[in-house]
Amino acid sequence: MIALSLLQLLVIAALAPLVQGAMKLLRARLQGRPGPSALQPYRDLAKLWRKESILPAGVSPIAVAAPGIALGVALPLAAALPLAAPGMPPLGEIIALIFLLALSRFVLGLAAVDSRSAFASMAASTEQTIAALVEPTLLLALLGAAALGQGTQLSALRYLPFGLAGLLAVGAFFLVLLAETARVPIDNQETHYELTMIHEGLALEFSGWQLAFIQVASHVRQLSFLLLAGLLLPGGTVWAVAAWAVAIAVVVTVVETLFAKLRLFEIPQLLASAFVLAAASIALRLFGTTL
Amino acid sequence: MRFFGVGATWAVSLLAAYLAFLAVVQGPVTLASFAAVPPAFTLDLGLTPLAAPFLALLAMLGVAIGAWCLRCERPVDAALIAGFVATMLLVLVARSVLAFVLAWELMSLVSAFLVGANHRRRDVRRATFVYLVVAQSGALCILVALLLLASHAAGPGFSDIASSAAAIPAGTRTAAFVLALIGFGSKAGLLPLHFWLPRAHPLAPPAASALLSGAMLKVALYGLCVVAFELAAPAPAAWGIALVVLGTVSAIGGVLYALVDHDLKRLLAYHSVENVGIITIGIGVALLARSSGALALAALALIAALFHAINHGLFKALLFMGAGVVAKTQGTVDLEKLGGLWERLAWTAPLFLVGCAAIVALPPLNGFASEWLTFQSLVGGFVLPDAGTRIVLLGATAGLALTGGLAAACFVKVFGVAFLGRARQPKKSHAVQPEQERFDAATFAQALLAVFCALFGLIPALAVVPLARIAATTIGGPAFTGVASIPPASLSVLPIALVALPLAGALACFALAAHRRLRSVPTWTCGSPVTPAAQYTATAFSKPLRMIFAFVLQPEHRRLVESGSSPWFPARIVYRIETRDVVDEGARWFGALALRVARRSRALQSGSLRLYLAYAVAALVVVVTLARR
């Protein structure tokens, strides 16, 4: 079972940059640009891996280790998804995984403040703010099975009856996904303007192989979240989950093309509505038999 | 004086450790009983399993704080600390009404001396006064609550009260519980009676702050547990709901005020309010589950609450000690003036980081273990039969998740701004401290607590297995078999599985940095010279959350621009921001009212001896008529 989980981890890690490249290509095509090849992220990563890393003078060891910790947090998430195997029992626990995600944000945030750059620190501040608002929604969106008394393992989500509650949960999780994968309208991966960078801003002072670590971590996390969204949708087989993940990736790209980035202080309203969706979904599951 | 105090602290700690062991292994034990002629004055000392985790916490903190006191500034503090630890021990072993109230008052008194240690400062005297007023009002509530319960029982011993608790009328029990909640809740710092805490805790010497936040708040929660689980049992569901709601409000409120505070010690005190809230949620879920017969869930929730009580004691003491080192070496705990302490405090900085990671519940530290258990108990409560209960638990789950996110933001701010980056103020020329921090008693004390934090995080079974026994006897249910299909003895798989890969990633980065090119260059700030003043400040860091939660915090900005020749080139900009603590204002209003009433009632104090005799006679008549009835 552990072998299957490791195999799944390798497949997800290998495909994650491709998904990023494909989404970028699709976005470019939707905007009428030829766009870079879908394989471009692999080339970028190979080049970054070969380069030296440059850090601001006098930083603490936290800044040296932070990219490795970020990658080390993304990988268990990919391994824990209940797809190839029924999920690794200790790792596939939803609440523990959410705590684990906080570890990566905490370390990257510290590294950003440590870099003495006001831009990076501002990004750390914004990232922590959004994360604090997203966390309750993320938790509630994934607790559908727990509301029925089926425990807090990710594997319990796979064969959950869908219905209206499931739809609401998917809606909430979609907004969470936009925030967690740094997409418009919450963040913008393509921006070159430091003041609006959130996720990119955290990595502002990283370069070379350290940046490669952070990028792989973001790609793996993105694919894992897409697959998680697929898990919340009806189906349940591996292929159904994968197909849903592709569909959601397309929707994310279309949303990115249609909408502009929200102002920072409008994001809480969006996240609050996501929270309402998630809470309504759980409430439906809790009282589904009586309503 | 100093060595006497340290020795006494260690001796009391060893005694506490022994008693904790005894309480877990043997169950209820009677240590001593002093019968008195009116039986109401009987003094009983004894042990219950419920006191064991608190005794264990006291022992661990006592050892570390004793070591710290080897280097503390005033020798008399060491003796006071020893007395403080001893009185807390007394509260934990008191098993009759009078013994408990006496020990409780002694504890309040000794701690008031510690809060007022720097009594030459006006704000310290003021905070000590407020603390004493709150402590005495709380003690009065506790006394009345215990007497209400004892008046229906065969005797004043806690075991007498507990054995006849079920026969006490429900109205009396509820009144006693509400009074106990006010008394213990105000001591523990539950919202809205927390207002004294962020003023009093930071003013005490570091060792005393560590004990106040680390241990005394837990002793108050112990009192609440004794009343709820033993003396006034069985608790109806409404008490559990009240505790869950109060706990959630305290958790969110505490962390919000911590987020906007930039005095390191006061910020830590606000985080105590937050963590007491989290523990109270656990206690509340345990009461709720027990009232609806879900004994396994009640045990889980109680384990989570007791475990978090221990853990919060450990990491909060560690953080307060770190803040003490910062105050001593830097002369300030204002986050806006600190920076770059990582280089100056080679020992304290990494140990403080361990404390920060523990308090924001990052795996694999102890805060994660107990907060995870708390979440599990909340989520387990989703299947409880009552609809209102489920809604409350759903809200508490979301609130706790929000609290976690806000706490993470707060400690990125604290550690990033104070310990990382570059120093914001130039090094003092008259600094007496050596350039590099050495390993001494103070750092040993912090290291010891950090080791405890890591140990309980990596091997939660160390605490959870004995706590499971305690919970089983307290709740009266079957043995606890595990959570999320993990038996308690093998809970270690969770933190280890979670952090194996991040740890490997960190090691890989260090290896790569050593073997491959890693170059240091000045930070790129768009070509302008890199100055410490250009770094992000704590005010700036917390601004987005301050704006989003403006409806609670009500921030007030004031900006002062001093410009010279041209308005476009200001010479100096002063930016000041203040947040209003609504509860604080309420407390101030109530305080003013109380003072006004007191001034009016001064007329009673005429100074005439005959009038005083008349008062005494009138009081006697009232008491006798009441007693005869």
A122 touches chain B (CB under 8 A): yes
User: Per-residue pLDDT tens for B537-549?
Assistant: 888 899 889 889 8
Q: A96–B422: do the CB atoms touch at under 8 Å?
A: no
Q: A52–B518: do the CB atoms touch at under 8 Å?
A: yes
pLDDT of residue A290: 47
In the structure, what pLDDT confidence band is assigned to residue B526 with cuts at 50, 70 and 90?
confident
Mutation target vs B (from A91, A125, A205, A286; most B CBs, 10 A cutoff): A125
Do strands B556-563 and B29-34 pair parallel, antiparallel, or not at all (unpaired)?
Answer: unpaired
* Extents of the domains making up chain A: 2-44+59-287
Q: How far is CA B493 from CA A84, A90, B434, B460, B474, in A?
A: 22, 7, 43, 10, 28
Helix spans in B345-490 (H): 348-359, 366-380, 387-414, 441-458, 461-475
A44 touches chain B (CB under 8 A): no
- Range of lowest pLDDT (B181-185, B243-247, B491-495): B491-495
CA torsion sign, A259 to A261 to A263 to A267?
positive
Residue in the structure block whose two tokens are 């919060």: B312
Cβ contacts from A onto B, under 8 A: 260
Q: A283–B405: do the CB atoms touch at under 8 Å?
A: no
Nearest to A102 among B404, B518, B523 (CB): B404
d(CA A237, CA B109): 66
Q: What integer is the mean pLDDT of B484-502?
A: 82
In the structure, what pLDDT confidence band is assigned to residue B629 with cuts at 50, 70 and 90?
low
Nearest to B520 among A57, A66, A125 (CB): A57
Residues 55-114 of A with CB under 8 A from B: 55-62, 64-73, 75-76, 88-91, 93, 95-96, 98-100, 102-106, 109-110, 112-114
Tokens for B563, please give them.
């410009």
Nearest to B541 among A125, A131, A264 (CB): A125
pLDDT of residue A289: 55
Residue A70 has pLDDT above 70, yes or no: yes
Q: What integer is the mean pLDDT of A221-247?
A: 91
Q: What integer is the mean pLDDT of B356-366?
A: 93
Residue A192 has pLDDT above 80, yes or no: no
Residue A291 has pLDDT above 50, yes or no: no
pLDDT of residue B171: 87
Mean residue pLDDT across chain B: 88
ipTM above 0.90, yes or no: yes
Position B214, amino acid: G
Nearest to A115 among B360, B512, B523 (CB): B523
- B106-142 burial: b if 16+ Cβ within 10 Å, else e: bbbebbbbbbbbeeeeeebeebbebbbebbeebbebb
Q: Report the DSSP beta bridge partners of residue B559.
A: B575
pLDDT of residue B425: 73
Residue B339 has pLDDT above 50, yes or no: yes
Residue B223 has pLDDT above 90, yes or no: yes
Residue A6 burial (10 A CB sphere; 0-12, 13-18, 19+): middle
In the structure, what pLDDT confidence band is assigned to residue B386 with cuts at 50, 70 and 90?
confident
pLDDT of residue B428: 56
